[in-house]
Structure 1
Amino acid sequence: MIVKELEIQEHTDPLRRAGFDAERQMAHYLKRAFAEDPHKFVFHNLRLERRGEIAQIDHLILHRFGLLAVESKSVAGEVSVNEHGEWTRWWKGEGRGMPSPVLQARRQLDLLLALLGDHTAELMDRSMLGLKQRTFAGVRRDVLVAVSDGGRINRGADVPELAKADQVPDRVVSVVQAGQGRAFGSFGFTDAELSRLQSFLWSRHVPGPVSTPAAPERRSTAPVRTSQERQSQARPRLDVACRACGSADLTVQYGKYGYYLKCAACGGNTPAKPVCAQCGQPGKVSKRGLEFTATCAGGHTWLYWINPA
């Protein structure tokens, strides 16, 4: 399933525009393959921050056995890799060196796993009757580099992570099957862990700076969104999910102990405990009509939830 859609980007720079076109092509193939797959969770252009460092992952697939990062590369001519692992981009007979996108994707994935490790206790279950904390120690960490359909690959060395964009879905399936084929007792996320990880990754996404030039200020002619349309943008997050079943089919209600989340899926109640994605501090919920906002001690305010009309 697609958890985070590809955010539309408008670039005036031709190179950046070509890069986005490669991401859009890859997103199309992943949607075709996994939009209706309940066991693979796809995030596009996911941007996460940890201790001042940014991990920017073009495409991330969360599955039962781990995480797979896909780095999209726009190649109009040819890309080659020699026996030393050095990458070259070729155009009209001229070659120019480029950083290894495999190493780049691995570094992004390492930072992501470090961020998840910081939140092990809230994301992972406890086993052995609650005596032992599960960790991310055994999680699979795979990367793929997707070359756009119009490009060619010259394999001077075996680079198993390198593939054409249309081949990536099959590679993803192979990685998951390899996880299934491991010996009994190997690492695998539980359903509850997968649900919490989806919510956490969405909640920690930090949109990048807008690079397009500012347009002349003008009065907006866009129609006012309905509450249902606004609700569709309030994706499930770690702090807005049913603690019993992980569902995001919720409404915010007020009770004896303050605001809480009422689950339409299982009927359970969950305390409303918003967490600031910018500084990690707890927030206080306030209501205005059908919209609920949260404000933390750091002064950050964000949309927490919108109840249906």
Structure 2
Amino acid sequence: MMNSIYQYLRAIHRRLRKGIKTRLNPEISQRKVRAFIKAKRDTSKSVALPAISPSIAIVIPCYGHAPFLKEMFESIKQQTRAPDQVIFVLDHSPDTSAEIITRLVQNFQSQTSSQFIVLHNEKNMGQAASLNRGIEYSTCDLIMILNDDDYLMHDCIETAIQLLGKYPQAALLGGHSLHFSSEQLVNTPKVIQSIYKLEDIQIDLRTPQKVLGYRGYNDINMTHSGSCFYKSAWQAIGGYYPDKSMRLVHFSDRDFQIRMNAIFPVILSNITPLSCWRNDSSVDQGVNS
């Protein structure tokens, strides 16, 4: 009995300590958020978000994931709405990524109307800079991100365009993902609208005012792969930040998402997955993130 009471009180103490720590030292610096909003105060007023029949590019930074590229590429081939452009940015990877991507593109290009582009970084630039290079090169209205070890749901593009069309004020769509390991992909669901019909997908609309209440990284939570945004909005907020000292939070993808939401409305599919996230491989936690 006494032991149970002790454990109960100890759990309460841990929660209180965590709450105090979060309040006094939050993961997201509100000082930096307010400074960013002030610097970009008038940005959204001059940005047009083309909601009618937008063109779309998938941008894939490639580094250190050669064994998974064929599966990733298959998810592009299977899209129910083909992308207008597919841009691979090969970030001076130390493996055979360049050879594999070149071969995959050569073998498939004649079978599709999509434009495939392969960019080669002369040195390792990291994920943020590689993404900026690919997005800058694109001529499309919308950009969808795909990490080179992940897998897009087969109707990800189709669903993203439809959802952004329903919320024309939103600059960014992000969603949940299904986690998988190498041996699990074959049995992982791959069609969004076989799980939820479009009209049943629950959407969480986040206005910029919400950002001032964010304290932790996951107060806005979306998987990077499958996230989709307007290039004009990417340009307005300064793109991804390669310089970590400039970021609101450490990770380049979450920093980008928070900064986007600080200026523009964002929509989240918190329950419905847009992609499949590989949980048994990651090389981007250090310099390459």
TM-score, with length taken from structure 1: 0.23
TM-score, with length taken from structure 2: 0.25
Relative CO higher for 1 or 2, CA cutoff 8 Å, sep ≥ 6? 2
Higher strand share: 1
